[in-house]
Amino acid sequence: MKNADAFRLTGTRKTEPPARVLRAGLLTAELLQDGLRTIRYGGVEVIRSISYLVRDRDWGTHSPSITGLAVEEAEGRFQVRYRARYGSPSASELVVDVFIEGSEERVVFRAIAFSPSGFETNRCGFCILHPIVGISGQWARVEHVDGTIENTRFPELIDPWQPFKDMRAISHEVLPGVLAECRMEGDIFEMEDQRNWSDASYKTYVRPLALPWPYHLRAGEAFEQTITLSLTDKRTNRLAVRQNSEANIVELALDDALHQVPSIGVVITPEEAKASRAALTSLADDRRPQLLLFHFDPLAGNDEEAIADFASMAAMHQGETAIEIALPCRLSPAEECSGIAAVLERCGFRPGSIMISPAVDRQSTPPGSRWPECPPLQQVYAAAHEAFGSIPIGGGMLSYFTELNRKRVPAETLSYISHATNPIVHAADDLSVMQTLEALPFITRSVRAIYGSKPYRLGPSTIAMRQNPYGSRTMDNPDGERVPMANRDPRHNAAFGAAFALGYAAAVLPGGPSHLTLSSLTGPFGLFAGPGEPVAEGGMRPLAEPILTLATQAGKMARLLEDPAGGRVVGMQIENPHGKQLLLANLSPVELDVRLPQAPQGLLRRIGAYGLLLESVA
């Protein structure tokens, strides 16, 4: 990919290093700097990745410097070795020697870590990702460190905690007659359901979370771990990987079920309120979002001036308004809610609804951790109802589904449930970010399993992270790179962000959210470009097109358009009285030809890399 194309597509001229494909008979794997990705057997994904990860005290990921890379490939086998060096802000160093051997039926991945200085980390070691599509709810065999065997299943609904602990090995069926075993040696491993964070994987990782973190690797001591992936093929006729002569042709299928397009929202922070007011006036009335979602956080210094700005903006908006309040809980909920209600009244601001949540619930409580002090949620909601009168009260989490799944709110008196998601909690490469869309239907199904038909609002959900529940801060990203937990992400500004937004809307559509918020109006999460972006400053980012188009279709009925062969193109067909509206997104970095359902055999539509197809048809 040329730099100019990369900038237009991803918002940064820094391209990702290409993966090298390793082959051994029916087994293929992609080699990256931190390990192996997309391990397939007979063309079917077995393991999403095996990587060696080093986390800092805020769960940020250290990037290694790779030296001595050597790759040998021969008929039916491959070998890889390299040295990875990790540095930290305290100038300590970690050196990891890596050895990988692969054949058609086995991959062995060994790592020996050594620190001459000692090294602080929250996690150091192997991480294995199993895919979710085709595996969720299916059989698994878990061997524990004490030798006991557990025949079980991968969770179908998202497990809030660890489905499997004290693991030595886990097996699953790849294809009828093909079994895969992943064996972990050198430490104790456990699995978490990463769909909680919208990651499209079940993650098996080293060192139980019940143990203290951060911890120190002692100076001068070697730490060795080994992962062995074994494949057993009992089929009488082994199928070779078939090359698709139409690899860049996508055959779309139209789902029968009808779903209502949600109302589209934008989030307004006090810092962006004045700029957002000006931006809103520039939008045509029929392309404005339905919902203005105001964010109010007294602990961040938000005060009466912020409410006055919100009131001014709400007065010029013909649609819905809501405010999300991070309640400090320094005083009683009754005192704090009545104080905020008085400010709203003085400013003449009566929002259409209020989403309220204790500020402390924005911080995650990992397994083994102590829950922070917090008033009972029944008390918080009762205080809100008393203070705000007849205004509908919503609850849930101002953070992500993880926190809602682990601390399930009492919803009896609530008018709606709300939470957000973020795709760069654990990984920020392009493929992983797009793959998070696979997890969203599992999230919405899990919410429905907990809260039934309760009205459900999703967002604000953006590629960049607005707030970090898993550390003391979000990560700065001044150079516009692909950084986990970053508070700015260049892809939001480019074609990638537009494709991601439309893919997000399609993925959650069957879950029936009443409202969907995927951006702000201005600022790093907004629809309008800043300096140094693919679009001229002040212009509309590519993201604006799908979001504002969805706003014009809110309340209408739609059917999903799906790619059964791999999800490279997603979208919806919206039913209108005088025709249909097609909204399609290419989630891949390559140009694709698309055949629409019921289209003549030779009729193809071309969609560019991370491109959109938005058009009306008869």
Render 449-510 in DSSP notation, one character per residue: HHHTT--EEE----SS-SS-TTSSSPBP-TT----TTBS--GGGGSHHHHHHHHHHHHHHGG
Question: Among candidates 138, 142, 139, which has minimal Cα distance to 150?
Answer: 142
pLDDT tens digit sequence for 377-432:
999 999 999 999 999 999 999 999 999 999 999 999 999 999 999 999 999 999 99
Q: In CATH, what number does 262-554 get?
A: 3.20.20.80
d(CA 371, CA 608): 48
User: What does the alpha-carbon distance between residue 139 and residue 439 come to, in Å, rounded to a whole number?
Assistant: 19
Report how many helices (DSSP H) and strands (DSSP E) the chain contains, helices first.
10, 35
Which ranges constitute the DSSP H helices of 373-471?
377-388, 401-406, 430-435, 440-451
pLDDT, tens digit (0-9, with 9 covering 90-100), for 165-224: 999 999 999 999 999 999 999 999 999 999 999 999 999 999 998 899 899 999 999 999
| Res 116 pLDDT > 90 | yes
The dihedrals phi and psi of 53, each to the nearest 5 degrees, come to -120, 145
DSSP assigned state of 534? S
Cβ atoms within 10 Å of 68's Cβ, excluding its own? 10
**In 3D, which of 322, 267, 266, 270 has the Cα closest to residue 298?**
270
- CA 355 to CA 394: how far, in whole Å? 4
The sign one gets for the Cα dihedral 300, 540, 461, 63 is negative
CB 241 within 8 A of CB 24: no
One fold for 3-233 and 262-554: no
pLDDT for residue 617: 83
Per residue in 289-346, pLDDT tens? 999 999 999 999 999 999 999 999 999 999 999 999 999 999 999 999 999 999 999 9
* Fold of the 3-233 domain: Beta-galactosidase; Chain A, domain 5 (2.70.98)
Indicate if the pLDDT at residue 618 is higher than 90: no
Q: How far apart are alpha carbons 444 and 158 in whole angstroms?
A: 10
Residues in the chain: 618
Q: Which helix (H) or strand (E) holds 291?
A: strand 291-296
Reported pTM = 0.95
> Distance between CA 151 and CA 162 in Å, rounded?
16
Q: Is 167 exposed, middle or buried (0-12, 13-18, 19+ CB in 10 A)?
A: buried
Q: Which two tokens stand for residue 177?
A: 């007659």
Q: What are 129's strand-pairing partners?
A: 49, 203
Q: What is the residue type of 284?
A: A
Per-residue pLDDT tens over the stretch 565-599: 888 999 999 998 888 999 999 999 999 999 999 87
Q: Where are the domains of the chain?
A: 3-233, 244-258+555-618, 262-554
Contacts of 2 (CB under 8 A, 6+ apart): none
Per-residue DSSP letter, 90: T
